């Protein structure tokens, strides 16, 4: 097992290398000269050339890539073109907001999805199943930003129950204030996650109910609820953990639209601001950061899958 | 792919209330988008005196901030949204199916190479790349279609590859090979026809995600640019007027939801229809 994990980790390195080349290349291909953000009107052409030289931008692309990669590996993702702050620090600053929002949404989604999925799967094709199924379909089909706008309209504008944007009220610094700001974005994200988990758990339940151990439990006289919530749930729970791995990969991109709608100060809205301002170092930093999460999230999912079901050999899951 | 399988799909589709609803919605939306020019209003005609009106008999969806008839704009917006979804689907399915077939059929180093490529694409944060590319390529409808397709072919490639791997070992394929037919002929005659079900199912799901992707992109302001509108960009605009005219936000979103929902439901029904072993869901 340990050997297999080590092998998968080693396989991730060339993958990350290629991904970093692609991301770097994409950002390099973008139009616009980064030097211009340092230029002031009374600069001479030589000064501009010197800045270009100092930034290493007069060198061929592969040399620039090499330097950039070395810097990355030592934890320096470069500096923002807009506010000249280190990109690494900016991302780290934003992690708690995004991780908190996503973490709570994912946890809530799993807590709700498990009982609903079990109920739907065990009442297949009955009314309750159809209702839950339709709910899940809507969840995977609804544009999250639209849901966000509707939530803002209803709960913030019409009912005045909750704030519509940001994470804090200026001048207030209480946990309750942050929670109040977080409820709407969290609810929107939870709905999206819930729907995909629900479909997964429902079909898992359907296939588990055909297994022999279920029949044996019934033969022993177990009640339906006992079978479902004690035995079937145990078998469903482990594969659900693998979904967590896949969700980690979605952390930044998944929150991007929702964070933008609610002006939630996380990594997603940082990325959005950077794209609007063509702040390439920040875009590159966030892209690499989310690629890293994606690769390790998938890796984690693979490994957990192997742990959950030893019959599945590691490494075969992904291809 | 034989006739009984198609009958199975048809039965599955028409015996299911969701299926009928999904098909009708898609048929109505497609027709409405195709015949949008029949609407008596001009989608770009400005009438500032009639701006931000609530829905009425004259303006079914009300009017927007320039007094344009919102219903007509939604018809034309649907045209672009559906077209982007459809064209991206065709392109991504083409790419995915080709890579999947080649990879599965030939195996060896080709398979290895293509699957590594697929892994790279899966590891690139696609929405960020989508944003980035649409910033520096001019965000025309054509570019958006191509970009979305290039970020979406992986699922189909995976499914098609797996299916090709199993088809490759069937007797009739083995026989065709032993009798000396060339690979291209075998793929065309024996492999591809049997892949039609998985490709159709994958393609249906792809339209759904393409439409969602385009709408998110346009909502953020990086998609189709004015005066052209899609449902997503209409929502972008509607955000500023949500306090007084929530109908501007309500309708385009509802149209996106209904379209994507119908494609998703259709995809699942088709899957069950093609694979009766799976049983009714």
Among A55-64, B132-141, B214-223, B226-235, the range of highest mean pLDDT: B214-223
B124–A291 C-beta distance less than 8 A: yes
B119–A318 C-beta distance less than 8 A: yes
Measured CA to CA, the distance from residue B218 to residue B195 in angstroms comes to: 34
pLDDT higher for A123 or B279?
A123
Question: How far from B58 is each of B71, B211, B254, B256, CA to CA, in Å?
Answer: 10, 29, 20, 23
- Residue A232 banded pLDDT, cuts 50, 70, 90: confident
Return phi, psi of residue B63, to 5°.
-125, 160
What mean pLDDT is predicted for residues A91-110? 89
Residue A22 forms contact with B (CB below 8 Å): yes
* Domain residue ranges in chain A: 2-73, 94-317
Closest-CA residue of chain A to B253: A146
Of A32, A271, A294, the CB nearest to B123: A294
Residue A143 forms contact with B (CB below 8 Å): yes
* A149-201 pLDDT tens trace: 888 888 877 777 777 777 776 666 777 777 778 888 899 999 988 998 898 88
Quote the percentage of chain A above a pLDDT of 70: 92
What mean pLDDT is predicted for residues A201-207? 86
Q: How far off is chain B from A243, nearest CA to CA, in Å?
A: 16
Model pLDDT, residue B277: 60
Question: Residue A229 pLDDT > 60, yes or no?
Answer: yes
Per CATH, the number for A94-317 is 1.10.3720.10
Q: How far off is chain B from A145, nearest CA to CA, in Å?
A: 7
Closest-CA residue of chain B to A158: B243
Measured CA to CA, the distance from residue B235 to residue B232 in angstroms comes to: 5
Residue B257 forms contact with A (CB below 8 Å): yes
Chain B hits for A23, CB-CB cut-off 8 Å, are 124, 129
Least confident of A101-105, A307-311, B214-218: A307-311
B129–A157 C-beta distance less than 8 A: no
- Residue B281 banded pLDDT, cuts 50, 70, 90: very low
Chain B hits for A286, CB-CB cut-off 8 Å, are 128
Question: Residue A67 pLDDT > 90, yes or no?
Answer: no
Question: Residue B159 pLDDT > 70, yes or no?
Answer: yes
Question: Residue B124 pLDDT > 90, yes or no?
Answer: no
User: pTM of the entire structure?
Assistant: 0.86
Interface of A with B in 23-52 (CB under 8 A): 23, 26-27, 29-32
Catalogue all structural domains in chain B, each as residue range(s) with its CATH number.
Answer: 67-265 (1.10.3720.10)
Question: Residue B259 pLDDT > 90, yes or no?
Answer: yes
Nearest to B28 by CA among B234, B259, B201: B259
Model pLDDT, residue B110: 92
Model pLDDT, residue B89: 94
Model pLDDT, residue B264: 92
Which residue of B99, B123, B159 to mutate against A (max A Cβ within 10 Å)? Answer: B123
Least confident of B14-18, B20-24, B251-255: B14-18
Residue A195 forms contact with B (CB below 8 Å): no
Helix or strand or coil: residue B280? coil
For chains A and B, CB pairs below 8 A equal: 124
Question: Residue B243 pLDDT > 80, yes or no?
Answer: no
Model pLDDT, residue B86: 93
Return phi, psi of residue A43, to 5°.
-90, 150
B122–A153 C-beta distance less than 8 A: no
Residue A18 forms contact with B (CB below 8 Å): yes
Q: How far off is chain B from A48, nearest CA to CA, in Å?
A: 24
Of B115, B123, B219, the CB nearest to A319: B115
Chain A hits for B135, CB-CB cut-off 8 Å, are 30, 275, 278
Model pLDDT, residue B278: 53
Question: How far from B243 is each of A170, A261, B74, B226, B229, CA to CA, in Å?
Answer: 22, 15, 20, 23, 22
Q: How far off is chain A from B199, nearest CA to CA, in Å?
A: 18
Crossing angle for the helix pair A2-29 and A61-73, to the nearest 10 degrees: 130
Question: Residue A25 pLDDT > 50, yes or no?
Answer: yes
A18–B120 C-beta distance less than 8 A: yes
- Residue A313 banded pLDDT, cuts 50, 70, 90: low
Helix or strand or coil: residue B43? coil
Model pLDDT, residue B57: 66
Quote the percentage of chain A above a pLDDT of 90: 5
Interface of A with B in 207-246 (CB under 8 A): none
Residue B13 forms contact with A (CB below 8 Å): no
Nearest to A104 by CA among A14, A8, A187: A187
Measured CA to CA, the distance from residue A39 to residue A56 in angstroms comes to: 16
Do B225 and B134 meet the contact criterion of CB atoms below 8 Å apart? Answer: no
Q: What is the ipTM of this complex?
A: 0.84
Least confident of A8-12, B54-58, B107-111: B54-58
Question: Rounded mean pLDDT of chain A?
Answer: 81
Helix or strand or coil: residue A86? strand
Do B79 and B35 meet the contact criterion of CB atoms below 8 Å apart? Answer: no
Quote the percentage of chain B above a pLDDT of 70: 90
Contacts of A57 (CB under 8 A, 6+ apart): A34, A35, A64
Residue A260 forms contact with B (CB below 8 Å): yes
Residue A271 forms contact with B (CB below 8 Å): yes
H helices of A74-174, in order, are 87-122, 127-141, 144-151
Model pLDDT, residue B125: 83
Q: How far off is chain B from A228, nearest CA to CA, in Å?
A: 19
Q: How far off is chain B from A112, nearest CA to CA, in Å?
A: 21
**Angle (CA) A250 B86 B13, round 5°:** 90
Size of chain A in residues: 319
Least confident of A4-8, A31-35, B33-37, B157-161: A31-35
Contacts of A38 (CB under 8 A, 6+ apart): A51
What mean pLDDT is predicted for residues B119-136? 82
């Amino acid at each position: 097992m340990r050997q297999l994990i080590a092998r998968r980790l080693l396989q991730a390195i060339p993958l990350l290398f290629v991904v970093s080349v692609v991301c770097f290349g994409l950002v390099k291909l973008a139009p616009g000269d980064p030097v211009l953000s340092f230029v002031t009107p009374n600069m001479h052409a030589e000064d501009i050339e010197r800045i270009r030289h100092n930034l290493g931008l007069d060198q061929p692309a592969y040399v620039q890539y090499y330097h950039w990669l070395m810097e990355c590996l030592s934890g320096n993702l470069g500096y923002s073109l807009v506010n000249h702050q280190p990109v690494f620090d900016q991302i780290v600053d934003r992690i708690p907001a995004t991780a908190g929002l996503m973490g709570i949404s994912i946890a809530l989604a799993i807590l709700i999805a498990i009982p609903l999925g079990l109920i739907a799967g065990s009442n297949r094709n009955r009314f309750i199943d159809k209702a839950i199924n339709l709910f899940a379909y809507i969840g995977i089909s609804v544009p999250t930003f639209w849901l966000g706008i509707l939530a803002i309209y209803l709960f913030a504008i019409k009912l005045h129950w909750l704030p519509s944007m940001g994470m804090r009220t200026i001048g207030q610094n209480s946990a309750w204030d942050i929670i109040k700001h977080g409820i709407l974005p969290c609810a929107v994200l939870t709905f999206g996650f819930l729907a995909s988990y629900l479909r997964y758990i429902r079909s898992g339940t359907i296939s588990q109910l055909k297994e022999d151990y279920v029949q044996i439990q019934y033969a022993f006289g177990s009640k339906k609820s006992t079978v479902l919530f004690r035995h079937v749930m145990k078998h469903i729970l482990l594969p659900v953990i693998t979904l967590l791995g896949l969700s980690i990969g979605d952390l930044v991109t998944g929150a991007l639209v929702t964070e933008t709608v609610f002006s939630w100060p996380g990594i997603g809205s940082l990325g959005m601001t950077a794209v609007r301002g063509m702040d390439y170092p920040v875009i590159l930093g966030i892209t690499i950061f989310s690629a890293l999460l994606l690769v390790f999230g998938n890796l984690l999912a693979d490994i957990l899958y192997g742990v959950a079901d030893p019959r599945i050999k590691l490494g075969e899951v992904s291809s | 792919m034989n006739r009984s399988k198609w009958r199975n799909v048809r039965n599955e589709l028409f015996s299911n209330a969701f299926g009928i609803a999904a098909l009708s919605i898609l048929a109505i939306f497609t027709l409405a988008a195709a015949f949008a020019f029949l609407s008596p209003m001009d989608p770009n005609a400005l009438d500032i005196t009639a701006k931000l009106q609530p829905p009425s008999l004259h303006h079914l969806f009300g009017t927007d901030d320039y007094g344009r008839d919102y219903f007509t704009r939604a018809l034309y917006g649907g045209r672009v949204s559906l077209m982007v979804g459809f064209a991206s689907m065709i392109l991504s399915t083409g790419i995915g199916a080709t890579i999947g077939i080649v990879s599965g059929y030939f195996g060896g180093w080709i398979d290895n190479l293509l699957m590594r490529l697929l892994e790279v694409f899966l590891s690139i944060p696609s929405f960020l790349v989508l944003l980035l590319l649409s910033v520096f390529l001019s965000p025309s409808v054509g570019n958006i279609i191509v970009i979305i397709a290039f970020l979406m072919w992986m699922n189909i490639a995976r499914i098609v590859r797996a299916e090709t791997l199993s088809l490759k070992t069937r007797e009739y394929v083995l026989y065709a090979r032993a009798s000396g037919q060339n690979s291209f002929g075998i793929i065309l005659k024996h492999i591809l026809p049997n892949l039609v079900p998985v490709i159709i199912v994958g393609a249906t799901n792809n339209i759904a995600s393409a439409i969602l992707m385009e709408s998110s992109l346009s909502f953020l302001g990086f998609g189709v640019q004015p005066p052209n509108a899609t449902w997503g960009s209409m929502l972008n605009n509607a955000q500023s007027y949500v306090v007084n005219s929530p109908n501007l936000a309500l309708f385009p979103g509802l149209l996106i939801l209904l379209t994507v929902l119908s494609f998703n439901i259709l995809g699942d029904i088709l899957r069950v229809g093609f694979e009766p072993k799976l049983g009714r869901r």
